[in-house]
Amino acid sequence: MLSRRELIIRSAGKLFREKGYAATSMRDLAREVGVEAPSLYNHFSSKQALLRDICFGMADEFFQAFKNAVENKTTCTDKLISAGKEHVRVIYNHLEASVVFFEEWIFLEGSELNRFKRLRKNYQQKFKALIEEGVNCNEFRKIDARVATFTYLSSLNATHELMMHSRNINPDELAEQIAEIFIKGISRRLFHH
């Protein structure tokens, strides 16, 4: 059973994704939940608080997934593939919220905005570190780690668009294919993996 609070968050995620945070009114959200707008304030202190919960909730998910992904893996290649898979799996499991996480975080206000940016940078940094390590130990070619990180993550992030439009896509396979292209692209030898 879905708690009231959970239902509101989920509905907010749906609407924020469809119409964007700014274009979604509390009355829109209330209609979706099946309630009058002021009732929402019994569960959340503000519209901003809803966005905050979604964005930072998703941040937690991504960090947790990364942690699980890399443990028990040895090579940078394996770690990057696994992290990519887990990343896409999080998106798949939270299709609506993850779009909010990717595209609506700009509407976070004040210190929360900065906190969010810091978290995001931190997460990217984890991927970058793996790539740099791979370069240093000759697992990968001498590439610009910044550009490579960026290339990999933007491909992974964009999967939400694919999965949104055809829900029966297998996220593991999708991530696998992206990872394969990327890893081959930065590897020393072909058929390395």
Q: Give me the residues that bind a second copy (CB under 8 A), please.
A: 19-20, 22-23, 103, 106-107, 143-144, 147-148, 150-151, 154-155, 157-159, 161-162, 174, 177-178, 180-187, 189-190
Q: Which is nearer to a second copy, 20 or 57 (CB)?
A: 20
Strand partners, 187: 140
Instruction: Answer whether 71's CB lies under 8 Å from 126's CB.
Output: no
Place of tokens 């919960």: 53
Q: Which of 6, 27, 67, 68 lies at the binding interface for DNA (CB under 7 A)?
A: 27
Closest contact distance (angstroms) between CB of 53 and DNA is: 13
How far apart, in whole angstroms, are the C-alpha atoms of residue 160 and residue 158? 5
Q: Which stretch binds DNA (CB under 7 A): 9-17, 46-54, 55-63, 162-170?
A: 46-54
Q: Which of 6, 41, 114, 172 binds DNA (CB under 7 A)?
A: 41
